[in-house]
Amino acid sequence: MNISTIEACPACEGGGQTQVFTPDKEAKSRFMELSSVKYKGFMDSWLEDLDMQIMKCNGCGHIYHHTQPDFASLSGMYNAGVQLKQVEPKLYPDSNMIKSMYRLYRFTAAKGLPTQLLDYGSGNCLWTTAASVVGFQVTAYEPNIKRIKNIANKNFTIVQQLSELNGNRFDVINLEQVLEHTKDPYELLRGLIPYLKSRSLLRIAVPNIHHHVRNKDIWSMFPFDGAKMHIMSPYEHLHGFTNVSLQLLVKRAGFALDLSLATCRAYPLNTFRTIMGKLIPAISTTECLMRPNSDILGTRP
């Protein structure tokens, strides 16, 4: 396994970090339980390679795993993963997903834009289905074949390799619960540039680590309490974003928060929480709409 050791903050690139978790004997034993229960023992040998330390950026509050496995190892982990509770997996999007995508469709269609949407990291394609149902022409990108092999009756295209998208540009790119899973979220965002039009909209939603840190001692049973996945579960959630760390990351990657009048009108609460959340973390949000800056795009339609 190729191991990455993260020295600077992956969100803001700042240099000051605090170690917020170092595993003791009990934590290592909880890790082995996680490996056994969730991944059929796939991660058993990882304790020797990875230090399982969690760091927090002193500047933006971003939380991340200090050492991270390579892409092939992560893919193996996802493929070995099983459902923790014996509940039927969701097959259809819920009403909130439909409402969210309908709102986005109404917003982009109202501006006279064609409406091709790329659902990047589509997982089990629930958001893809929601986007398709409300009217988007949807392409889903999901590299993990296990997650997409049972999807039937689909009214959209699924690709497993990004190269299959070459030559295509999208009006909307949806990153729903994706950035926290990726080793280098900056590189992922930069990798979207070939698929953007000049006025493309990027929708990003990630878990807000602030809402987990403030309520309880999130490290007491880390990394596994025997029942449910932890918000920083190794090595699925590699990042814990704050409102500030997400904004700084996307800005560094060449995107700007969409604060146009139309967006503020269509998404008043989200806009308010995004701006004021920097001052009042309790109301902060880690869901945002971004536009690419013209300097990362060059000349294109």
Q: What distance in Å separates the CA atoms of residue 235 and residue 186, rounded to the nearest whole number?
A: 18
Piece of 1-9, 72-80, 119-127, 171-179 that binds Zn ion (CB under 5 A): 1-9
Smaller CB distance to Zn ion: residue 57 or 205?
57
Return the range that interacts with Zn ion (CB under 5 A); candidates 50-58, 65-73, 190-198, 231-239: 50-58
By C-beta, is 60 or 213 nearer to Zn ion? Answer: 60
Binding mask 59-98 for Zn ion (x = CB under 5 A): xx-x------------------------------------
For the bound state, the minimum distance from the C-beta of residue 247 to Zn ion, rounded and expressed in Å, comes to 11
- Quote the least distance from Cβ 245 to Zn ion, whole Å: 5
Largest separation between any pair of C-alpha atoms in the chain: 59
Nearer to Zn ion, 33 or 184 (CB): 184
Q: Please pick, from the candidates 6, 34, 52, 57, the single residue that binds Zn ion as defined by CB under 5 A.
A: 57
CB 253 within 8 Å of CB 207: no
Q: Which secondary structure element, helix H or strand E, spans residue 249, and what is its range?
A: helix 243-252
What is the nearest approach in angstroms of Zn ion to the Cβ of residue 249? 8
CB of 186 to Zn ion, least distance (A): 12
The count of other CB atoms within 10 Å of the CB of residue 43 is 23
DSSP-derived letter for residue 283 is G
Tell me the residue ranges of DSSP E strands in 102-176. Answer: 116-120, 137-141, 157-159, 170-176
Closest distance between Zn ion and the C-beta of residue 68, in Å? 16
- On the question of a cis peptide bond just before residue 235, with omega within 30 degrees of 0, the verdict is yes
Check binding of 175 to Zn ion (CB under 5 A).
Answer: no
Size of the site for Zn ion (CB under 5 A): 8
Cβ 189 to Zn ion shortest distance, Å: 15
For residue 222, give the amino acid letter: F
CB 130 within 8 A of CB 93: yes
Contact characters 3-22, Zn ion, x per CB under 5 A: ------x-xx-x--------
Smallest gap from Cβ 87 to Zn ion, in A, equals 36
268-276 vs 243-252: helix axis angle to the nearest 10? 90
Cβ atoms < 10 Å from Cβ of 244: 21
Beta strands at 67-68 and 4-5: parallel, antiparallel or unpaired: antiparallel
10 vs 123, beta carbon nearer Zn ion? 10
Contact 219, 54 (CB under 8 A): yes
Q: Which positions lie near Zn ion, rule CB under 5 A? A: 9, 11-12, 14, 57, 59-60, 62
